[in-house]
Amino acid sequence: MKLPIIKHLTQFIEENDEDFVVETIETLESLTEVSSLKDEELDVIGELISNMYGAIEVNKMVKEGTPKKEALNTFMSRVLGSIDK
């Protein structure tokens, strides 16, 4: 996951609608079923999906009243904390 991408997607959600990102996730998840995709291509799609889910989670925290910067930092701390375990 990349914080600048999650930050950008969070801004996109604020300016547009979360549904756009959800529908994009669904489309990308469907693409992963194409049998001719290479592992590298699946990795890229997976990274995009992860960043989009991250942006949705950050947006949820912002809607609950957490300042955006704090929500981004909290989310990334959770991600990094789960990787260290």
pTM of the predicted model, to two decimals?
0.89
Question: pLDDT digit string (tens) for 12-66?
Answer: 999 999 999 999 999 999 999 999 999 999 999 999 999 999 999 999 999 999 9
Containing domain of residue 11, as a range? 3-84
3-state secondary structure 41-85: HHHHHHHHHHHHHHHHHHHHHHHCCCCHHHHHHHHHHHHHHHHHC
Total domains in the chain come to: 1
